[in-house]
Amino acid sequence: MATETIPWDSAANLRNSEEIAAYIDAVLEENDPALLTHALGVVARARGMSELAREIGLGRESLYKSLSSDGNPSFSTVCKVLGVLGVKLHATPSDIRQG
């Protein structure tokens, strides 16, 4: 008998600012811009794409396209999305030393 599986939707498990911040923080640890774009799209779906777009002053279609797998959001858009979500970026020294 085959094992039945169901698709996992991360957006369904992001219920508040603390969970969203923890999710984004984990994604930032990967240092992958495409993964961050994907994660912001997941968070936008969790929060409501239309509401989020309205709060940051973009059209829903523009925000959706920007946060899609083919999207390349500007840093300004990323900052606006994070700001509306109540999430701040923080810099910490990496373990890699440049000399």
pLDDT in tens, 60-96: 999 999 998 888 999 999 999 999 998 988 888 877 6
pLDDT, one tens digit per residue, over 36-65 is: 999 999 999 999 999 999 999 999 999 999
Q: Residue 7: pLDDT band by 50, 70, 90 thresholds?
A: confident
* Residue-by-residue DSSP string for 34-95: HHHHHHHHHHHHHH-HHHHHHHHT--HHHHHHHTSTT----HHHHHHHHHHHT--------S
CA distance 63 to 43: 12
CA diameter of the chain:
58
- Does the pLDDT of residue 20 top 60, yes or no? yes
Please state the rounded mean pLDDT for residues 18-42.
93
- Please give the distance of CA 39 from its chain centroid, rounded to a whole number: 3
